[in-house]
Structures are given as C-alpha cells and as structure tokens.
Amino acid sequence: MINLETPKKFKPLISQANMVAQELLRPNSRKYDIAEHEYPVELDMLRSLIDGMEDGAAMGAGAAGVGKGGADGEKKKDDGGVKNGTNLSTALSIIEMCWGDAGLLLTMPGQGLGNSAIAAVANEEQLERFKGKWAAMAITEPEAGSDSASIRATAVKDGDHYILNGEKIFVTSGERADVVVVWANVDPSAGRAGIKSFVVERDNPGLKLDRLEHKLGIRASDTANFILQDCRVHENNLLGDPEVRTDKGFGGVMQTFDNTRPLVAAMALGCSRAALDETRKLLESAGFEIDYDKPSAHQPGCVAEFIELESDWEAALLLTMEAAWMADNRKPNSVQASMAKAKAGRSGTDITLRCVKLAGSVGYSENELLEKWSRDSKILDIFEGTQQIQQLIIARQLLGKSSSELK
C-alpha cells in the first residue's frame, strides 16, 4: 500500500539537497540568469561532493532510479515488499534543489536526460563504458516537436557503423555534455518502430553545433541546436535492440519518460514552492496573518488566494509522489507520470505568476527572484511533453485508444 508521507530514510538526503540549494544554488541564481551561456564553475565543486556521497545520483535530474534493476537501480530479488527507492528520493531531493534554482540543477555535470536513456535501455557493456559520462538528449526537430514519432533524422547502416543525418533543436546541456543521445530512424518505412537511440560523442566531427538559444527562463542551462551531417557512429553505440520490430513500436525508447516525467514535475514543484515561501514572507511582513483555521471567506482576499495556491501545490505533490513510488515498485505508471507532469507543470506556472501578482511591484522587480521563478516555470510545463500531449496520453490510456485513433 502506498504511503505518501516522506519516508524517514530519505530525510538526511533531503536535508543535504536543501543545504546545497540554500548555500550554493540560490546565492548564484541571479548571477547566471544574467550571465546566460556562462558555465557555472561553482557546480564543479558540487559534482565532486555528490560523487563522494552514497546516494549522490539522487540529487540530480538524470539517471537516478531509471535502471533495469530493483527500485534502487540494482539487480535485487523481488521479495514482494513495498519499496521506497531512488525514483521517490530523487523527486523529493529535486524539489529541494529547484527551490534553489532549476536552471543550475539542469546544468549540473553528469545529470542529463540522456543519462536516463542510457540507464533505461543500455546493455551491461554500454552501462560500464558510458559510466560517468554527462549525456544530453537530442529528440526534438523543427518538424517533430511534441510528436516524437515524427522524427526525420535518419541512421543508415554502413558496415559496422551508422551514418546519421538530420537536425536536432532544444538540446538541454548539448554544448556542455560529454555525449549526446540522438534519436534517429533506421527504417523510415517502418514508421515509429524504426526509431532508435544512439550515443554520439560530443567531439564527433559529424555532430555540428549550430547555435545556442537565448531563453525566457532556466538561463543558467545551455540549450543547443545541432546539425547531424554524415555523422558516423559505431553500431556498439546503438542503445537497445537493433532489430526493427513493428509489433513493439518504439516503446523501449519511450519508457524513459515514465521515470523522468515525475522528476520534471518535481522541478516545477520546487520552483513554485520557492515562490510560495517568498510570497508568505512578503504577506506576513505586510501585516497579513495566514490562518488555516479560518474560512477563506473570512480572510483578506490575498490570504485566501495564497491558501488556494498552497492547496493546488499539495495536489501536484501527491500526484508526483504517487508516480515516482509506482516507478520504484515496477508498477505501470504511464498515466500517473503524465498526470503528475500535467498537473505540476500547469500549477507551477499558475502559482508563480499569481505570486508575482500578489507581491505587486515587488514581485515584478529584479530585486526579488519571484519574476525569475515565473519565467523558469514556463519551460517545466513544456519540455518532456507539453500539457496537451500529457492530456492526450492520459485520454488514450483511460479510453483504450491508440495514437492513430485519438490525435
């Protein structure tokens, strides 16, 4: 049975994440929001600290809890018991870290979305070979945004190599990562079943950096666009089954998102929690008392609205914890992961913007971080599947419809 209280064994990790957020991320938040594309050198020290921590991987936004083994990413015998593993601990620690700064978390060395793909589908030899590599993920294309099945990048077999050609946009940490996990189609005639993922070394001459994006939010994180031009990749760098199997579609590469969407939801929760905490301070300093025992109708309008925002945040938190817990216990969680991502993403943008409104001119000023959190939150409702895509996934699952039947 699921228990949505924070497990006691995770409290030291959560405390460590909160300390990092307070002492390192929050103090540098505005600095790297202004200095876009400048690498945050402070994170190198943080990576060294995390590498030395027993549960260090759980403090990033990448591969933690996505492996093929037990709830903690290890090959454990299933004893039938309930597990609180690294999916849940990662989500809880990410909330703390993004309370500090979401952009800095995203650019933490060694914690890219590509690491999740490697952990999810790589074989043992690949897991060992790419261990310690910082892996970005290249999925989105100019003609294939929310619909990953429409990918046009191709991978043509040439002896013991594949030749990749195409264009990839909005690659988080693309410039700074060691490798990039590129999605490409090995057999366009097979449709989505032909889509495979390849690990491409960042210094591969066929992987050409086109530009870095200037963004609304998460400006500390670099977002790169690439051109793949006759990019030669050894067949040993193909992740998962090389065979094109139309009976299985491309569920293997998509399963990564069932684990990572709750983590993106956790990022939205951390960012919006920061806005709520700051707004509470501002309201209380202005003489407003937040009384949870008094009906909203009997409280000042700003206090009633604040309590409403907090309840919305709590609902998103419970959905996120449920989705992460299900992943730890190897339960199908596609619907729950999409519900968590949809709810937290939408609530995050709503909460942060309304906190800016409640704070008035203070919220709009760069003297506080409220306006920054409202900008950072927007992408958390978009990447790894937009709000509309999450609703489609949920509807298809609940109604038993295929992607061709419900578009």
**Cβ contact 115:70 at 8 Å:** no
Tokens of 295: 């009906």
Tokens of 103: 């952009």
Reported as half-sphere exposure (CB side, CA atoms, 13 A), residue 51 has a value of: 13
d(C-alpha 245, C-alpha 262), whole Å:
28
Burial of 328: CB neighbours in 10 Å, binned 0-12, 13-18, 19+: buried
d(C-alpha 90, C-alpha 95), whole Å:
9
Nearest C-alpha neighbor of 221 from the set 330, 102, 306: 102
Q: Bridge-partner residues for 207, per DSSP?
A: 228
Provide the 8-state DSSP code for 152: -
Q: Bridge-partner residues for 233, per DSSP?
A: 162
C-alpha Rg value of the chain to the nearest Å = 21
d(C-alpha 196, C-alpha 174), whole Å:
19
Q: Is 42 a catalytic residue?
A: no
Q: Count CB atoms within 10 A of the CB of residue 26.
A: 16
Tokens of 125: 């030899």
DSSP-derived 3-state class of residue 154? strand
**Cβ contact 85:70 at 8 Å:** yes
Nearest C-alpha neighbor of 156 from the set 206, 113, 114: 206
Strands (E) located in 285-361: none
DSSP-derived 3-state class of residue 271? helix
d(C-alpha 270, C-alpha 172), whole Å:
19
DSSP-derived 3-state class of residue 207? strand
**Cβ contact 323:340 at 8 Å:** yes
Backbone torsions φ then ψ of 289, nearest 5 degrees:
-100, 130
Q: Count CB atoms within 10 A of the CB of residue 348.
A: 33
Q: Point out the catalytic residue in the list 96, 310, 384, 405.
A: 384
Which residues carry out catalysis?
Answer: 384
